[in-house]
Amino acid sequence: MSERLQPGDVAPDFTLSDADGNEVSLSAHKGRKVIVYFYPAALTPGCTKQACDFTDNLSLLADAGYDVLGISPDAPEKLGKFRDKENLKVTLLADPDKKVLDAYGAFGEKMNYGKTYLGVIRSTVIVDEQGKVERALYNVRATGHVAKIIKDLGI
């Protein structure tokens, strides 16, 4: 498990496959702000709510200069089903070996019903135009999180 990112850190670059198998790199977004959010699993209620919230607010975020990338350990094929079933417009990326999740501090110990286990920590990292971490939010809630980001960013 790696350390959680802090504002001012250089955001670790990555290249991952999207739902269609195309490679997407963080560095390709240089010059724009990027909201990178990490979620446990496609096609689950909380993750669906969060992805739909990002999709519903995508044009607002884009107009304010933000791109949105959602990352989970799911395979690209599952991400494609998720996107198509829910009409998602957010770019979903596959991190099955959890290297990017780990680099961003979004994989580690979690507690659920008194049991400790390793899993995806629902997190959002906002990266500025130069590739530095502007904000790093960990253990966020699926519901209401996008509205909070919009409010906190003054959009």
- Give the active site residues: 47
Residue 7 carries which DSSP code? T
Cα-Cα-Cα-Cα dihedral sign, residues 19, 148, 35, 140 = negative
CA distance 94 to 70: 9
Helix residue ranges, H only, 108-153? 145-153
CB 26 within 8 A of CB 103: no
CA distance 93 to 50: 15
Question: Angle of helix 76-86 relative to helix 45-56, nearest 10 degrees?
Answer: 60
